[in-house]
């Protein structure tokens, strides 16, 4: 099977060079670069690449107009917007056109490669999902810790798990259904739970039940943010969440033999927070 061929559309020579370098290092073939929208359309017609990475700001026409012209030539064209700007308006308009994914510059190599692998028909998506989607949940966690609890968070480690996730005291689990099956777990030790809820609600005079409901709602918000962002950014992906359940106990293991998962450990002054995301792969 040949390499996946990519056309890089960007008016900056620096970005063209950087993106091409990242892709070629990762086994893609960059068949050409285009600096204008019209050049991109001409090269798409001539070279028929598997995937196009598209900047939004181009000197002649914008990236969405250029994408529309390419999609007129080939309605099945695989286009990823890779732009300094990634706002809701752009995503909404782009999704309506048929853009496959939206990434923000500067894209990390891993993020870019995993996205292109996922939309490339030459790759197998199974097993790569959790790593790719993890960052959406990680970002939702960091932002909501800041907004809801005024807590700064720093990711201190990231690891792949096998079939088992070992929890630390209170683990809130939500199932993921839809295009892919999976689950998300937000896990904290008992004292971190108390600190977190206190930081969020400004009181330590709460029953255990109220504390658990508060942390479950926090996990629900993070999972909801992450899933919404993924659904927005990836065409043809529609994930849904099942309601949270809370697992309590020392050294609990959550086992799912079909799921490969990733855990990030986030350090905060309330204590460490463990965020575990796993997917079983393609839809059954």
Partner 1 sequence: MDVRLVNPFVDAIAGVMPQLGFQSVSRSKMTVQDQYVLSKGVVVIVGLTDDVKGNVVYNLSEESVKAIASVMMMGMPVTKIDNMVQSAISELANMITGNAAVHIEKAGFRVDISTPSLVVGPDAKVKICGTKFLVIELMVDDIPMELNIGIE
- Return the HEC string of the chain: CCCCEEEEECCCHHHHHHHHHHHHHCCCEEEEEECCHHHHHHHHHHHCCCEEEECCCCCCCCHHHHHHHHHHHCCCCEEEEEECCCCHHHHHHHHHHCCCEEEECCCCHHHHHHHHHHHCCCCCCCCCHHHHHHHHHHHHHHHHHHHHHCCCCEEEEEEEECCEEECCCEEEEEEEEECCCEEEEEEECHHHHHHHHHHHHCCCCCCHHHHHHHHHHHHHHHHHHHHHHHHHHECCCCEEECCCEEEECCCCEEECCCCEEEEEEEEECCEEEEEEEEECCCCC
* Nearest distance, CB of residue 92 and partner 1, angstroms: 24
**Given the complex with partner 1, which of 98 and 175 has the nearer CB atom?**
175
Which residue lies nearer to partner 1 by CB, 199 or 252?
252
Query: CB of 112: closest distance to partner 1 in angstroms?
Result: 29
Residues found near partner 1 in the complex (CB under 8 A): 163, 167, 173-178, 181-183, 212-213, 216, 240-259, 280
Question: CB-wise, 9 or 184, nearer to partner 1?
Answer: 184
Q: Residue 201 Cβ, how far from partner 1 at the closest point, in Å?
A: 17
Least Å distance, CB 228 to partner 1, is 15
Cβ closer to partner 1: 160 or 162?
162
Nearer residue to partner 1 within complex by CB, 19 or 280: 280
Min separation Cβ 216 and partner 1, Å: 5
């Amino acid at each position: 099977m040949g390499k996946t061929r990519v056309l890089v559309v960007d008016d900056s020579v620096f970005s063209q060079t950087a993106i091409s370098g990242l892709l070629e290092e990762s086994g893609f073939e960059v068949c050409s670069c285009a600096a204008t929208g019209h050049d991109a359309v001409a090269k798409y017609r001539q070279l028929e690449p598997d995937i196009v990475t598209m900047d939004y700001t181009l000197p002649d026409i914008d990236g969405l107009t250029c994408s529309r012209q390419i999609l007129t030539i080939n309605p099945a064209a695989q286009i990823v917007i890779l732009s300094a700007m990634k706002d809701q308006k752009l995503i909404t308009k782009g999704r309506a056109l048929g853009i496959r994914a939206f990434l923000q510059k500067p894209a990390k190599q891993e993020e870019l490669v995993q996205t292109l692998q996922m939309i490339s028909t030459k790759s197998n998506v199974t097993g790569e999902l959790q790593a790719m989607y993890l960052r959406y949940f990680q970002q939702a966690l960091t932002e909501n810790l800041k907004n809801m609890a005024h807590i700064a968070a720093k990711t201190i480690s990231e690891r792949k798990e096998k079939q088992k996730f070992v929890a630390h005291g209170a683990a809130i689990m939500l199932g993921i259904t839809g295009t892919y099956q999976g689950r998300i777990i937000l896990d904290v030790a008992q004292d971190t739970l108390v600190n977190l809820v206190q930081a969020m609600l400004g009181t330590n005079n709460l029953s255990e039940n109220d504390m658990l409901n508060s942390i479950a709602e926090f996990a629900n918000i993070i999972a909801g943010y992450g899933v919404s962002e993924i659904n927005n950014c990836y065409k043809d992906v529609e994930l849904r969440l099942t309601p949270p359940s809370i697992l309590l106990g020392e050294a609990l293991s959550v086992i799912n033999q079909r799921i490969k998962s990733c855990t990030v450990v986030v350090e905060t002054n309330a204590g460490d927070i463990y965020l575990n995301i796993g997917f079983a792969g393609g839809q059954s």
